[in-house]
Structure 1
Amino acid sequence: MNRRRCVSAAITLVCALTVLASPAYAAPTPPPEPRRTLEEVRAEIDGLYRQAASATDAYNLAEERARKQSAEVVRLAQAIVDGQARIDDLKKRAGAAARAQYRNGGIPDEARFVLANDPRRFLDGAGRLQQGQKATQDLLGELSRVQTDLESYTADAGTEWTRLEAHRTQQAKAKKEIETKIAAAEKLESQLEAEERERLLRLEQQEQSRAQTAWLGSGVLKEAGGSASAQGRKAIEFATAQIGKPYVWGAEGPGSYDCSGLTQRAWGAAGKAIPRTSQEQWRLLPRIDIRDMRAGDLIIYHADASHVGMYVGDGMIVHAPRPGRNVTLAGAGSMRILGVVRPDK
């Protein structure tokens, strides 16, 4: 019995030593992710900035609408105050007329003349009585109209306030998306070595140059080149004077601009009001065939109309490109063109 126990204990000990001596099992290390090419990084950064541009358009549109709604709310609020003051005045006048009638035993002054024995006084009093009745009716009619207007102003103010809050909510949402996309793009760029960032910029410029060369080679400008209008020349003069100023999303000058902020201010300086965003400029301004394009026209880019530049002639535009870049001259065909609009058509 003792011998069996000894043998069993020995076997257990051997097994334990064998386990301890064996190498510990480890999960296989996953292979490192393949390093992306600089071109792939460039494409991702470009995509992020494009998404930020779309969100910027949404932000600008919500901001413009909120500004208009805010002004309308202020106007309606003043109309409500004025209407209430008018009602108070009309009520005082109506009360004064009622008190005067009460003091005369319920007979208006005009009616007393009607009761006179003198025919001339009778006729004069009858006319005055008619005038007094009309004045009372007019007073009551005006009071009713002002009360109706006041109710309408109050209802409209409530509606405009609801719209204002909705547009402010849209602004906040768009702002968050813009900041998220820009931060992601900047993070990608910051992870690159200085030499890689220089190569990234060269890749960007080479891509733009290839696109511009292909666009010019298509012969699209053979029929274009009409002279700018007087307003167009003023708009170009303003836009080109902004070259070198930084792109800042949502900015409308004078120290910085986003793409549509620049074109709106330029045409505003020329005396022509145009919509705030590139999407609204594309939707609302008269469209021109690209072969009929002239200096001063606006070129809208990308399928979602999220970018705009001003054509200045010779195949070039002035535009505010994106965060991290300044207002500059660039090839009009260096990006995908959606169409052309003419603010002063």
Structure 2
Amino acid sequence: MSGRLLRLVCTVAVAAGAVLAPLPAAAVPEPEPRERPVADLLTDLQRLYREAEEATETYNATEEKLKEKRAEVSRLDAALSKARLSLYDSRGAAGRLARQQYQHSSTDISPYVRLLLARDPQHALEQGHVIGQLARERAETVGRLTGTEHRADELARKARRALDDQLTLAARQKKNRDAVRGKLVGVEELLASLTAEQLTRLAEFEEKGVEKAQEELTASGALGEDARKPSREGETALRYARRQLGKPYEWGAEGPRTYDCSGLTSRAWAHAGTPIPRTSQEQWARLQRIPLKELRPGDLVIYFPEATHVAIYAGGGKVIEAPRTGERIRISPIAAHPLLGAVRPDDLPGARAPRHAGPAPA
């Protein structure tokens, strides 16, 4: 092409607003996205499960406080109703006394003057006794009325405060419930993003990790000899837990069809006649701590630094646990999760915190 023709083509292209782009080089295929290592996936999944369980235990703690506050509101309402009924009766008695006083004051001669003019001294004494009795009753009625008014006012203030606290706890409970659901959505999204092959490898990798942790724990001698017998209550709690094997995990559940981790342990011990705190954090904080070497069947094993998971020791280095969402109550190695410590519910009565009125249904 001549220089003149080349200049013409360029002029036309610029006039038309065209942009002359260089010819593309040979197409280079984009690299395929790199598959994340199974170890990283397991770390993320375990973190999400742990956060969900921590949120669940926070929800459970709020739920227990809300139950207590509801009971307090009901008790105060009943006491207030009783006080108001007593106040009504006292005001009725005070009204009768006022009418009597008015009637006596409207007569020409007061009862006291009539007493002085009485011909029969014995009759006069009896009249005096009656008048004294009436005066004492009047004073008692006025005092009772005043005291009942004060008590009714105080009960009304307490009832209002308790109701305000209940509403605050209810709002907190909803916030905690939403937090749990949000954490579980994260778990679901991660699992949904994985292929069947990845899920299989993930499960195998996790199982190998648990086996290794169990072997190391056993070899260390941290569990000591496993020949201890459970207490009578511990054996009853363990039998209850065994009967729940295979039932689904459900966050916030206390049975009898579904359980979360602390719902299972608290119900098992309530069934044994030894009520304990509802949440794993409270179980760790308020029950007697024991060395792992002293574990006996029925004791509780606490996991993670925040005490967000709990299981019941079954002996032989095994525990019964409600593991996590999507799984069922099962027997697991004691080293299935990072160990925090162990507690014994039936050796420290002062540490018990009743949460259930009676044995739970099997």
User: TM-score of the superposition, structure 2-length normalised?
Assistant: 0.86
Q: Secondary structure of 2:328's partner?
A: coil
Q: Which string of whole-angstrom CA distances, capped at 9 and with x for unpartnered residues, describes residues 23-81 of structure 1?
A: 489xx999765431122111111100100000000101111111111121122122222
Give the Cα–Cα distance (whole angstroms) in 1 for the partners of residues 189 and 128 of structure 2: 90
* Matched-pair contact (CA < 8 Å) for 1:289–1:339: yes
- What residue in structure 1 maps to residue 175 of structure 2? 173
Shift of 1:315: 1.0
**Residue of structure 2 in register with 1:3 after alignment:** none
Give 1:185 shift: 1.0
Would the aligned equivalents of 2:224 and 2:292 in 1 still touch at CA under 8 Å? no
Amino acid at match of 2:222: V
Aligned 8 A contact 2:104 2:111 in 1 = no
What SS does the corresponding residue of 2:132 show, helix, strand or coil? helix
Letter of the 1:325 counterpart? E
Q: Which residue does 2:90 correspond to in 1?
A: 90
Distance 1:106 1:220, change over 3 A: farther
Identify the residue that residue 154 of structure 1 maps to in structure 2. Answer: 156
Please name the residue that 1:65 is paired with: 65
Which letter maps to 2:257? G
Residue 271 of structure 1: aligned partner: 273
SS in 2 for 1:136: helix
The aligned residue for residue 260 of structure 1 is 262
The structural deviation recorded for 1:287 is: 1.5
In structure 2, distance between residues paired with 1:105 and 1:318: 82
Work out the CA distance in 2 between the residues paired with 1:126 and 1:270: 66
Change (3 A) 1:214 1:113: farther
How far apart, in 1, do the equivalents of 2:299 and 2:6 lie? Answer: 99
RMSD over equivalenced CA pairs, Å = 2.7
* 8 A contact 2:224–2:294 mirrored in 1: no
TM-score, normalization: structure 1? Answer: 0.90
2:203 corresponds in structure 1 to 201
1:195-234 counterparts in 2 under 5 A?
195-223=197-225, 225-234=227-236
Give 5+ residue unaligned stretches, structure 1.
1-5
For residues 120-157 of structure 1, give each alpha carbon's deviation from its aligned partner in whole angstroms, at most 9, with x where no partner exists. Answer: 22322222322222222211111122111111111111
Contact 1:113-1:124 within 8 A present in 2 as well: no
1:327 to 1:9, Cα distance in 2 relative to 1, 3 A: same
| SS of alignment partner, residue 83 of structure 1 | helix
In structure 1, distance between residues paired with 2:170 and 2:7: 81
Say whether the 8 Å CA contact 2:253–2:263 is kept in structure 1.
yes
Gaps of 5+ in 2: 348-362
State the AA in 1 paired with 2:69: Q
Q: How many residues align?
A: 338
Deviations 1:255-280 (A, max 9, x none): 11000000011001101111111011
The equivalent of 1:143 in structure 2 is 145
Structure 1: distance between partners of 2:202 and 2:111: 94
How far apart, in 2, do the equivalents of 1:199 and 1:338 lie?
A: 28
Greater Cα shift, 210-219 or 32-41:
32-41
Question: Where does residue 40 of structure 1 map in the other structure?
Answer: 40
- Picking from 337, 340, 343, the partner of 1:341 is 343
Q: 1:36 to 1:10 in 2, by over 3 A?
A: closer
The question of whether the paired residues in 2 share the 8 Å contact of 1:101 and 1:109 is answered with no
> 2:238 is paired with a residue of what secondary structure?
helix
Distance in 1 (alpha carbons) for counterparts of 2:122 and 2:113? 13
- CA distance in 1: counterparts of 2:291 and 2:111, whole angstroms: 76
Q: Of the candidates 298, 307, 331, which is equivalent to residue 305 of structure 1?
A: 307
Q: For structure 1, which segment, 283-292 or 271-280, has the greater mean C-alpha deviation from structure 2 after superposition?
A: 283-292
* Matched-pair contact (CA < 8 Å) for 2:262–2:279: yes
- Give 1:54's aligned residue: 54
Task: Judge conservation of contact 1:302–1:338 (CA < 8 Å) in 2.
Answer: yes
Which stretch shows the higher mean deviation, 129-138 or 62-71? 129-138
The answer for the alignment partner of 1:12 in structure 2 is: 11
Give, in angstroms, the shift of residue 223 of structure 1: 4.6
Query: How far apart in 2 are the matches of 1:303 and 1:151?
Result: 47
Q: Name the % identity.
A: 35
Quick one: structure 1 residues 250 and 110, their matched pair in 2 at CA, closer, same or farther if it must change by over 3 Å? farther
Pairwise CA distance, 1:110: 6.7
Residues 110 and 128, structure 1, Cα contact 8 Å, conserved in 2: no
Cα separation, 1, equivalents of 2:274 and 2:113: 66
Question: Quick check: 2:246–2:328 contact (8 Å CA) kept in 1?
Answer: yes
